[in-house]
Every structure is written in structure tokens, then in C-alpha cells.
Homo-oligomer: A and B are copies of this chain.
Amino acid sequence: MASPVLLKISQAATLTEEERAAISSLIVQTVAAPAGEDIVLQGETPQFSTVLLEGLAYRYCTLPDGRRAVVSFQIAGDWVDLHSLFLDRMDHSIGAVSACLVGKAPHAAVHALVKRYPHLGLAFWRDTTMDSAIMRQWLVNATARDARARMAHVFCEMQLRQQGIGQADDTGFDFPVTQVLLADAVGISVVHANRILQQLKADGLLEFARGHAVIHDLPALWRVAEFDPSYLRLDRGVDAAGA
């Protein structure tokens, strides 16, 4: 079975047939989430970890006064809340951007798996580390770059990540978000997001409309974003330094 979960984790670690089977058996249930619906809610105490099998999702925090901060996008193959294994209550929510299919793995089963196969524990751990690396880039983005570079950065990252699962090429990709969502991810107002997008288009870099990004000049886009893709390729798998 070529599930996106196994595909992704296989890029990080060499798995035995037994280990692959063990991972597959983790997912005891698959659930469909319609576009716009929440998959996991802030404040919950989940007993499952969730992996995205299909679709686009986003992680976000809701602030007391209703503002929303998007902290990441998740694509097929991503564990969206593996870290909830250690969280007493979710400190953020996860929503479905497009219609999603998710798999659920009971926390207890994940714990048991890790104890039985420490090697898989490392692989999972590595997966969350990769997520952190992405988040660190977002943080650098938000603290040190202006709106234009930040916006460009989001598109650079999504292009490369989606390419990694065969859903993008150098000329563009589907990205079914609204400008409101994009604004909340970049940390600017919708009005400003709209103007930045127009500017990127006028500069011949990127055209984004109706949930689809057309990239006109990827190298130039990378330059504007100061994009360094190395953070997306943590080249050292879990086997490298092990035994």
C-alpha cells in the first residue's frame, strides 16, 4: 500500500516490513472532514493523533478577541497533531481548508509502538522536528521580513512541499486558500494581503487566483523571499547516526 504516511516516513528512515505493517495498523479509523470544518479544536484533550491522508489543512490559534493566527499548513502525509501525544490540552486548532481525509491513531497505540520499536520512535520524533524547523522559518519570517517577502516565502515553501508529494511543479500548484486565510498566515490585514499579491503579480513573479498559484519566475520568487530550501530537507535520516 502506497499510503502517504508510509511514503513520507520512508524518506526519513529505512523501515522493515514489520515496522511498516505496525505503522499501518496504528490507524484505526479514517474520517472525512468537509472543507472549512475543524478537525481538532483548541482546548480539547485528544486521545488520538491525526494524520492527513488527503487534502489541505491548517493549524491556527484563536485569540481571546477572535483574531486568528495561522501557524502552518499541512499537506497529505503530514501528522497534524503528533505532538498532542504530550499535550494535556490542545493549544491550537486544526481546520480543513479543502475537503480532507484523515487517519486516527490512538495515543496509547503510538506509545506502545514506540516502546516496541524505538527506531520508529526516532522516526516520529524526527517528523515533529521537521515540523518545528518549518515553524522556526515562519517565525523568522514574521519577525525579520516585510509583508512582500513573507508572502513570497509562503508560496516558495508550499510549492516545494507540494512538489515533494507530486502535487506541484515549477510552474504552479493548487492552493485552495482564501486571501483572508493567507493574510492570517502572513500576519497582515486582508486589504494588505490583496495589495501584496497584486504587486507580486505586477512584478511577474506569481499569480494567485481561485485557489491556484501560477508561478512565473521561481528563482526571482526565491530571491524576494530569501528562500533557502535546506530547512525542508533534513537530510540526515534516523539511521545515519544510529547503530
Q: How far is the CB of A108 from chain B (nearest CB, A)?
A: 6
Contacts of A242 in B (CB 8 A): 108, 111-112, 115
Tell me the minimal C-beta distance from A128 to chain B in angstroms: 6
Which of A164-172, A190-198, A205-213, A231-239 makes up part of the contact surface?
A231-239
Count of identical protomers in the assembly: 2
**Chain B residue at smallest Cβ distance from A150:** B143
With an 8 A cutoff between CB atoms, is A29 at the interface?
no
Q: How far is the CA of A117 from the CA of B107 in the complex (A)?
A: 19
Which residues of chain B are within 8 angstroms of A226 by Cβ–Cβ distance? Answer: 63-64
Contact size range, A: 35 or more
Residues of B within 8 A of A238 (CB): 86
Q: Smallest Cβ distance from A149 to chain B, in angstroms?
A: 10
Q: A70-B143, A85-B129 are in contact. List 4 more A-B contacts (CB 8 A).
A: A86-B129, A86-B236, A91-B133, A132-B135
Supply 6 A–B pairs (Cβ within 8 Å), ascending by A.
A63-B140, A67-B144, A87-B236, A89-B230, A111-B122, A143-B186
Residues of A within 8 A of B (CB): 61, 63-64, 67-71, 83, 85-89, 91-92, 107-108, 111-112, 114-116, 118-119, 121-122, 124-126, 128-133, 135-140, 142-145, 184-187, 226, 230-231, 233-236, 238, 241-243
